[in-house]
Amino acid sequence: MNVKKMQRNDGFTLIELLIVVAIIGIIAAIAVPGLLRARLSGNEASAIGSVRTLASAQAAFAASCGGGGYATDLTALGTAPAGSVPFIPADLAGGSKAGYTFTVSNAASAQVMAQAATCNNAANSFTEFFADGAPTTPGTTGVRYFATNQTGLIKQSMAALTVANFDAATNLQ
């Protein structure tokens, strides 16, 4: 009796596997730029929120701690008054958050109160402030720059914002 053995061809051929890998590569090439744009937009939205937080923190500092004057830097806003909480969260007090670097300065204004007289004894208070957020790696972590001052307006620009060019920048809607 002659019995033929049946051959089983289970599995995938090399060509089929290469086609699947190529399709996955094409899908990834299409998806990655969209994911990078989404991350960039998320970083910029976070930066806007952080600049808004800095403006609110400065208003709170002026009203409760600085005798009507504003803090000179992030350290002063990040230092809690006795028995209270800091004016800004710890992640923002570090100066860097979500792909942006933040700074606060006194905008070369007049001193209102000496450091020892402020409620947190962290820095002198001044009549004006300037706070900005700049992308840590321009073009990768963000493309827009954001800033605010004692007016509370948040402005945006495609170039670095300074005290000198703040008024010429575009208001954030």
* pLDDT band at residue 108 under the 50/70/90 scheme: confident
Q: What is the pTM of this model?
A: 0.82
CB contact at 8 A, 171 and 154: yes
Distance CA 44, CA 124 (A): 31
Residue pLDDT, tens place only, 52-93: 999 999 999 999 999 999 999 999 999 999 889 999 999 999
Q: Is the pLDDT of residue 105 over 90?
A: yes
Q: What mean pLDDT comes out for the span 37-63?
A: 95
Q: What mean pLDDT comes out for the span 9-17?
A: 85
Picking from 157, 43, 51, the residue whose alpha carbon sits closest to that of residue 100 is 43
Look at residue 26 in the predicted model and tell me its pLDDT.
93
- What's the half-sphere exposure (Cβ side, CA atoms, 13 Å) at 7? 2
Q: Is 111 helix (H, G, I), strand (E, B) or coil?
A: strand
Look at residue 8 in the predicted model and tell me its pLDDT.
67
Look at residue 2 in the predicted model and tell me its pLDDT.
64
Picking from 166, 123, 127, 128, the residue whose alpha carbon sits closest to that of residue 146 is 166
